[in-house]
Amino acid sequence: MPFMMEDSMGGTMQVDLHDVDDLFGDVTLPARAPSKRLLLRLDELRGRGSCQGLAWSKSGTIASISPDGQSLDLRYLRAHPKDATWSLSEPTSCTPWQGPLVGPLAHLSWAPTPNPQLAVIDSVGRVLILNFSPNLNRPSTARRWETDAVDDLNAIVGTYWLNTMPAHKGMANPLHAPAVKHGNGYTYEPSMLISNMPFHPNPSQSALLCVTASGMLKMFWTQNTNKIEETTLELDSVVSADDLVTHAALCSDSRSKSIIVALATASKQLQVVRVVLNWNNPPPQESMKGIPSASQPLSPTLNERLVAVSTWLPGGGSESHLDPCMTQLSHIELLPTMMDQVNRTWLAPVILTVRSFVPTPETPYNQEVQSIIDRWEIVIDQPQTVHSAFEQLGSRRNSVGSQPQAFTKLKKLDTIIMNKIIIGIEVVRMGTVVAFMFSDGAVEYRDRVTMNEVWNAVNLDRINSIYEAGFVQSGGETPCLQTALSPTNFSLVQLGEDGKIQWHGVNYTLGDVSALDDAQHSAVIAALTLSAAQAATSHSNIDDILAVGRRFTHSHRIFAVDWVTEMVKMMRIAVDYSEEAPHDNLVRNNMLQLCLSTLNHLGWRGEYQPRTFHSKLSMLALNLRNIVILITIASNGPGIAKDRSPLDEPEVVDALAGCCKWSMDLLCWLADSLFCLLDDNKFLELLNQQRFSEVTPYLVGRNDVALHMVLSSATRGLISAVCRRIIHLNNLSQRAIQYYESRGAGSTNEASSKGSGALMSLYHAYQKILGYTSTSLIKVQEFDRLLSTLGADIRKSYSSSFANLANAPQQHQNQNNNTPKPDPGEVRIKRAQTACELTLLLAGQPPYPTFLPVVNKFFKEDLAEFRKHTDRAALFFGDYELLEIDDESRALAQRRQKGVRVDMFKRVEIFGRKHSSVPEELPLRRCARCASVMEDIAMVSNKPGINFVLTQQRNCCCGGRLAVLTRGELVG
């Protein structure tokens, strides 16, 4: 091929290199030399374990150590308020310690608890534990490190958090995989993975175990008083430098209910120790529901037993003459014990070690980078046998021989060699898959038993992960030093050699997302569904899953509906609340909140943009649910002090007043919208002509969700729950006002009395609630009665429409145990009702002809009668701006110009920083998923009542996590 070269005159000349290869034979150019930063990172990994400076929590916070090692940088994924596109947030610098650091930060480790905790460890082994319960990017300190000893021998070389106690019976977690192709859809094979013990006695807590260079095991655990305490155990005595532990790995073992520790020493020794953890706590009382109380202090003890010793360098010396660094470990990892789902046998724990070779620039040979993975299976409790000669000797001496004790050994497995530099290892998918991260940015997933690569090919017939549905990870573009996978494995963050952190999601490879065929569409839905179910089971944030689903929503109008339909089917989420029942079951249905949150986000286009029909419906449902929870918590919360409750604090009552005002506005708007339909000739024509199939398209065109809100039993139940809580607040306010007036509140001389400020604030807050409830444009009790009548009519319609489904054999007894079996007819009726309710909840077409007589009666009789007792004109001209529900272009433009936002907690209008009525020193919190905002009251409040209520609302009403805004971020 011709090659262009510049001559000395600035022109060009052509040189023909057609036969140039013959001049050099088979010699090839040497591989690109590794960067200095990569070499320094490898030295760091070889020098000591536990030096991960980039970590991703289950709640969504991405923590990293700053380049100078002196502070924490906190990031998170967030949907941009302007257009709802997902990106990585700007870093928030954090230094939650007192005074200067003794040594630079060295390691970060997240707890697996629902309320995340981060262990921050410095180079001399001091341990700081942070809580991230309320916010993504502003922690509170749970344990300080100022009293920890400063000693290089205390440097941490291995960390491990205990697994959390599963919520399911049998100590197992559902996997919800694989998704197997069945006709035009997928079925999900049920499988359970046992979570390894031991656990912390409190289901919401874990414990951090650390191994020091001196062979000391430290356990940091939470007492029942929420104070973090420490228990220690000496694993190995250090008498020389060769005895120092350089790397350590830990895991739990359900078979022995103990903790297995693997230690790698400077003398190339590999030791395996079993540690038995006993919490020594009394059994919990039944009334405590398994959560120990402060009156039952924990007193854990640790006991160890050396079970196996070997060398981590096979052959006793270097396997390669190329580099003496091949005799140095960079990683050690323990794959935990787990149950083989096929053979129903236990799989033994496995130790993985990694040694890496990097060619030097001075070498005259063409050498490639290389990582050697050595593996040992920990064969536990193997029976020992005695040689027959010894048995005969014992019999001649008339002695009785005893059975030898079982022993543990290390079984060497095949070595694996990779021509890449491994910079990280993570055990994912509940211990079944091992992820290897490489310096070129790539990630490989391998089976924990065979170590064969998995998820590397498209397989639409049997989907175990997002990668088998046609997605690939796009993080291998540039070299990197550290990688952290998201808890869902849908994305990763990487620390590049330039010191910058970047987020990489997955990309679809089977074609244009706007032109998927039916098979591809179903496969994507199945992959997203099983991934969301696995995340929900482990209390993991699903924001990066929503980010992937959002790409398909723009091209497929019903993608969100199909996805949520599949989630309901697979996880068997309750959506039928047509039968009269307490509202607690509806409000506590967290999986239903997940579905509504998905619909809400996928139909949201950004602030001051119109929402889709199903997004508006789910947004209102989520807000109703949140208000019900807040009022219930404030009214039924435990006493925060002697003879005091949250309702004795003005801040709490004032927040409830805002919730009451928002709820009253919603009821009025809902009534007005229904009245508008009653006056809509086109709508009435469709009903009179029984053209029911055209009703929903007509309502979607108007983006009017009022009818679906009252027809769906779930949203109707939430509206009814709000009505009853408004009535409760009205009665409570009347009694409170009478009580405070009897104590002189409101009198002219009250202002001069001691402590009158708080009393008057509380008095006025209750007056505010009473003002909202007593001046309502509709009667709440009458509206609730209207909904009850509609619910009764729907139940009658279900009963008559599905009566033919009951024609099945009657309930009969099981011949073995006389246990009654479900009536097949009742099952079919319940299934048909659920299908109808799901259609309504997803803003679909109400089933015809089941709902036609119900809707006709509702509009022509019940609603018409209710309208006679309301001020129609006042409702029509009412101000509903607080609801942020009017999505006409004019209304959206006015809100954008004013910069108005509604506080998610107090339900009052707050403004952007440019026109802020909020004090500058009071920060705001914003949801990373839906961009809802609220004042960060907890920042300036030290009152227990308001803090108790805020603590119960750790997340946004949509289920997304909240982050503290820096100055100017609200507008930008």
Tens-place pLDDT, residues 843-899: 888 887 888 899 999 999 999 999 999 999 999 999 999 999 998 999 999 888 888
Residue with tokens 């190329």: 322
Rounded to 5°, the CA angle 610-616-618 comes to 150
Rounded to 5°, the CA angle 930-932-934 comes to 155
Find, among 520, 491, 530, the residue nearest to 179 by Cα: 530
Report if residue 629 sits inside a domain.
Answer: yes
Report if residue 889 sits inside a domain.
Answer: yes
Encoded tokens for 21: 């290869």
Give the neighbor-by-neighbor strand order of the sheet with 501-504. 480-485, 492-496, 501-504
Residue at which a domain ends, from 154, 179, 204: 154
Q: Is the pLDDT of residue 637 over 80?
A: no
Q: Rounded to whole angstroms, how far apart are CA atoms 378 and 964?
A: 46
Mean pLDDT (whole number) for 445-459 = 94
Mean pLDDT (whole number) for 97-108 = 91
Q: What is the pLDDT confidence band of residue 12, given thresholds at 50, 70 and 90?
A: very low
Q: Rounded to whole angstroms, how far apart are CA atoms 132 and 139?
A: 5
* Model confidence pLDDT, tens digit, residues 690-747: 888 899 999 999 999 999 999 999 999 999 999 999 999 999 999 999 988 887 766 6
Report if residue 773 sits inside a domain.
Answer: yes
Report if residue 479 sits inside a domain.
Answer: no
Q: Rounded to whole angstroms, how far apart are CA atoms 766 and 773?
A: 11
Residue with tokens 């008095």: 763
Looking at 528-537, 584-593, 806-815, which range is the least confident one?
806-815
Report if residue 189 sits inside a domain.
Answer: no
Tally of structural domains, the chain = 2
Q: Is the pLDDT of residue 318 over 50?
A: no
Q: What is the pLDDT confidence band of residue 9, given thresholds at 50, 70 and 90?
A: very low
Q: Is the pLDDT of residue 291 over 80?
A: no
Burial class (CB in 10 A: 0-12, 13-18, 19+), 747: exposed
Burial class (CB in 10 A: 0-12, 13-18, 19+), 404: exposed
Q: Rounded to whole angstroms, how far apart are CA atoms 673 and 677?
A: 6
What pLDDT score does 642 carry? 57
Report if residue 853 sits inside a domain.
Answer: yes
Report if residue 287 sits inside a domain.
Answer: no
* Model confidence pLDDT, tens digit, residues 137-195: 999 999 999 999 999 999 999 999 999 888 766 667 888 889 999 988 999 988 888 88
* Model confidence pLDDT, tens digit, residues 369-421: 899 999 999 987 655 454 455 455 555 555 555 555 556 789 999 999 999 99
| Sign of the Cα pseudo-torsion (747, 750, 752, 756, in order) | negative
Per DSSP, 915 falls in state: G
What pLDDT score does 816 carry? 47
Mean pLDDT (whole number) for 633-659 = 83
**Which comes out higher in pLDDT, residue 323 or 170?**
170
Encoded tokens for 493: 């963050």
Q: Is the pLDDT of residue 285 over 60?
A: no
What pLDDT score does 167 carry? 72
Range of the domain at 788: 573-743+760-805+826-964
Looking at 88-102, 489-503, 747-761, which range is the least confident one?
747-761
Those residues with Cβ within 8 angstroms of residue 477's Cβ, 6 or more apart along the chain or in another chain = 441, 504
Report if residue 97 sits inside a domain.
Answer: yes
Residue with tokens 């919208």: 673
* Model confidence pLDDT, tens digit, residues 33-71: 778 999 999 999 999 899 999 999 999 999 999 999 999
What pLDDT score does 166 carry? 81
What pLDDT score does 362 carry? 65
Compute the mean pLDDT over every residue in the chain, rounded to the nearest whole number: 85
Mean pLDDT (whole number) for 246-250 = 96
Q: Is the pLDDT of residue 300 over 50?
A: yes
What pLDDT score does 355 carry? 94
What pLDDT score does 638 carry? 65
Q: What is the pLDDT confidence band of residue 786, given thresholds at 50, 70 and 90?
A: very high
**At 390, phi and psi to the nearest 5?**
-70, -35
Residue at which a domain ends, from 139, 154, 169: 154
Those residues with Cβ within 8 angstroms of residue 396's Cβ, 6 or more apart along the chain or in another chain = none
What pLDDT score does 317 carry? 47
Mean pLDDT (whole number) for 606-631 = 94
Residue at which a domain ends, from 105, 135, 154: 154
Mean pLDDT (whole number) for 931-945 = 80
